[in-house]
Amino acid sequence: MSKHPPPETVTASDGHALAARFFSPAQAPRGAVIIAPAMGVAQSYYADFANWLALNGYAVITFDYRGMGLSRRGSLRGFKADILDWARLDCDAAMNALTARFPDAPLIWIGHSLGGQILPFIPQHRRLAKAFTIGTGSGYWLENVWTLRSYVWWLWYFVVPVALPMFDYFPGRRLKKVGDLPRGVMAQWRRWCLNRDYAVGVGGEPVRQQFAAVKTPIVSFSFTDDEFMSEKNTASIHNFFINAERKMKRLSPSDIGAKRIGHFGFFRHRFCNSLWQQHMLPELVG
């Protein structure tokens, strides 16, 4: 089986075409996994992990949000999309496509960073049997790890307010920050990160109730050397899932005999015998 199956087209309910890849197990799947990417991260980053899941009996879909990765069509200047579009339209399309291909497999959500934050906004989250968040925290800048705070202060109060009206998108690749993002995505993310209660603080009681409506059991993996998310960030957002059974697993590199894991390390193939096999797989099958 190829580690990078050819991209296919998945169509959202508003007609927008998205690039996705399907990883299929050799036998009937024990579960069907949606991998929701972090902010600015292409689906190709998750290919090794998706391949490993398939080898362990799980069907998987990876995809790029509209305007990102293989789902990007030309310039982002003037491109209309925000984070809620990614959740309500793109994630919904990925879930529907996976279900159509593997209708009898229980659905499992694996969200990396932003992919875990947007779980309450997924229209069909009640269909999920399990959910996993990897490196997911609130993003509130004053709860970020202290080494990041001066950087994000500069980003949120100077760089973004100047760049968005100037370019009509966020030219992160040129600025070597995050990556290129649609204007609506970056503007919404900025509002969330400047609020103590993140998305809940910006959206108010309706969003608080959306978090409360999630009843899917959640396993959270966080890491002591995460350069973005502090332990406080992680606890802050998961505390809004008041009606979901939550299992918080916080690991240090020394727990697995590694020098570093960080915000992005979990999905690297070098951790297949440690983080994946010893920590993730028991939670998946349990």
Q: What is the CA radius of gyration of the chain?
A: 18
Q: Cα–Cα distance between 94 and 92 in angstroms, integer?
A: 5
State residue 3's pLDDT score: 67
Residues of the chain with pLDDT under 70: 1-3
Residue pair 95/125 in contact by the 8 Å Cβ criterion: no
Burial 247-276 (b: 16+ CB within 10 A, else e): eeeebeeebeebeebebbbbbeeebbebbb
Summary count for the chain: helices (H), strands (E): 12, 10
pLDDT tens, 139-183?
999 999 888 899 999 999 999 999 999 999 999 999 988 899 999
Residue pair 177/159 in contact by the 8 Å Cβ criterion: yes
Q: Cα–Cα distance between 93 and 87 in angstroms, integer?
A: 9
Residue pair 22/95 in contact by the 8 Å Cβ criterion: no
Pair of tokens at residue 80:
């209309």
Choose which CATH entry (3.40.50.300, 3.20.20.220, 1.10.150.120, 3.40.50.1820) describes domain 8-147+204-285: 3.40.50.1820
Q: Cα–Cα distance between 186 and 180 in angstroms, integer?
A: 9
State residue 2's pLDDT score: 46
State residue 67's pLDDT score: 97
Alpha carbon separation from 174 to 75, 86, 179, 181 (Å, rounded)? 13, 23, 8, 11
- Kind of pairing between the strands at 246-251 and 218-223: parallel
